[in-house]
Amino acid sequence: MDAAIQERVNIWLNGNYDDQTKKNILDIQQNNPEELADAFYRNLEFGTGGLRGLMGVGTNRVNKYTIGMATQGFANYLQKTYPGTEIKIAIAHDSRNNSRFFAETTANVFAANGIKVFLFESLRPTPELSFAIRHLGCKAGVVCTASHNPKEYNGYKAYWNDGGQLVPPHDKNVIIEVEAIQSVDDVKWSGGESNITIIGKDIDDAYIDMVKGLSVYPDVIAAQKDLKIVYTPIHGTGITLVPQVLEKFGFNNVHVVEAQSTPDGNFPTVKYPNPEESETMSIGLQKATELDADILLGTDPDADRVGIGVKNHKGEWVLMNGNQTAVLAFAYMMEARKAKGIAQANDMVVSTIVTSEMINEVAKQNNVACYNVLTGFKWIAEKIKELEGKENYVIGGEESFGLMIGDQIRDKDAVSAVALMCEMAAYEKNKGKTLFDKMIELYIQYGFYYENLISITKKGMNGQKEIAEMMEGYRTNPPAQINGSDVVTLLDYQLQIGKNLLTGDTWPIQLPKSNVLQFITADGSKISARPSGTEPKIKFYFSVNTTLDNKAAFDATQTLLENRINGIITSMNLK
């Protein structure tokens, strides 16, 4: 074993770590030395969003000690930022294995550092944590979750006083403080228990009231209160709030998928607890088909992502992709607010650079300002903060099945998204239509934009290096053509430079640095390459578009666009 790795192992075997941890290390050392090397070859990185990784012993795993050291670093930064001030922090967790233990560990460390802690009594959706930070006047927040990752993962998302995840300068400064914690002996593990307050129903009620206030057409819901809704929490936190919110909105025909209703960190009915996956939504689709429902909705373990299923123009159940969901939601909020007479001249919406360009077109035709930010809802939250008092934020979202409606939360919120989607379905049903009918109408009106995404995973110690080399190759030697169409523009968000590859002209990109490359071709296709910030994978986003003349041309046009994306994937050797 590498000497540096062995040294880390020895520190854990000889240091102030519990006996069970030491026993587990010895067992792995004997039975699976490769796994031990992976568990100790580096320190689990506290990135700009916090921690995420496999659970287990080791410096490269999520466990009591890596959680505790991260929390001590975060606490140190809070105390340096707010000297002589009462510091309050809210903490929540999802349904994953060990999440409650990690949340309590986090609470104990903050409390031992003299910080006043508001800890949820049991599992809660991530968006409620964002809401609670603002509602309780906290300086920061933490939720223990690994979102939609497989059951072996857990994590730790860090939030600032606006309810959004950390952005500059706080993200980098917290990382510096976390990296300064070199030993578990630097952590204050206990002694401040009196600083912990348990919270629950009061925050639930305030949050539910806030979500109810987002409704645009309560009168339509009253007319369609028996809309047949199927909902699955996929063994996650959504069960704590989604049914109550739908009831508060006035829907009385809600069917929860029983097989997936109980919170369970083993996610026994799915391979990945991710509503983006058709396999994950298959049980819900089966129930929706049996009941002849109007809409199916599913939320991931921490209830910040939403997947929806509807009947298409042929009466077949289909799952909408994240871009379609976002376009439907954005269009509804802009069009419905205008029709209701509550739109404001300074309304604005926020999308991201890898989300459908169709949102920009919808906003343009509705005379609403649309801002495009880097991937991640922390950048949407930052844009709201930047324009607070000047422009009226209505909705934000991105292709990864996330929406953020209204400005009282500052992270993606699947609970309010479920309610909004049901209101949208009721609005269309009131006109004798479905959400799929509405999607086709939007394509005819604004242009048929079609997107796809593939992820390439590179596991193990060399994975990150391989991804870095792939990005460097694209950066230094961009393709001249993709699928037979000239690449006319290269946008490099790491170097913050846009370049016309035909003329050589360059211009600055006015966004923070991010390791993203985008190629725009002569036929209007957009290809984005972006390494994941939380997993050893690189994501490629594909967007193509054309016009749609009428509903009858939908199938043929969609096939045309699908073939164009398949051609792009083949030409870039990404299969």
Is residue 255 a contact partner of residue 293, using CB atoms and an 8 Å limit? yes
Give the β-pairing of 229-232 and 295-299: parallel
Rounded distance, CA 404 to CA 304, Å? 9
19-31 and 3-14 helices, crossing angle to 10°: 150
How high is the pLDDT of residue 461?
Answer: 63
Helix (H, G, I), strand (E, B) or coil at 158: strand
How high is the pLDDT of residue 537?
Answer: 87
Domain pair 42-199 / 448-571, same fold: no
Q: Which one is catalytic: 99, 147, 400, 485?
A: 147
What pLDDT digit, counting tens, does each position of 126-158 carry? Answer: 999 999 999 999 999 999 999 989 999 999 999
How high is the pLDDT of residue 533?
Answer: 65
How high is the pLDDT of residue 269?
Answer: 97
- Please name which of 344, 358, 511, 336 lies closest in space to residue 427, comparing C-alpha atoms: 336
β-strand partners of 306: 299
Rounded distance, CA 97 to CA 43, Å? 22
How high is the pLDDT of residue 49?
Answer: 82
CATH 3.40.120.10, applies to 207-446? yes
Quote the mean pLDDT of the chain. Answer: 96
Residue 147 designated active-site: yes
CATH 3.40.50.1970, applies to 42-199? no
What pLDDT digit, counting tens, does each position of 379-417 carry? Answer: 999 999 999 999 999 999 999 999 999 999 999 999 999
Element at 538 (helix H, strand E): strand 537-546
How high is the pLDDT of residue 428?
Answer: 97
How high is the pLDDT of residue 353?
Answer: 96
Domain ranges in the chain are 42-199, 207-446, 448-571
Chunked mean pLDDT (size 10), the chain, 575 residues: 91 96 95 94 88 95 98 98 97 98 98 98 98 98 94 96 95 94 96 98 98 97 98 98 98 98 97 94 97 98 97 96 97 96 97 96 97 95 96 96 96 98 98 97 98 87 82 92 96 96 95 95 96 80 97 97 96 89
Is residue 146 a contact partner of residue 44, using CB atoms and an 8 Å limit? no
- What CATH number should be reported for the domain whose range is 448-571? 3.30.310
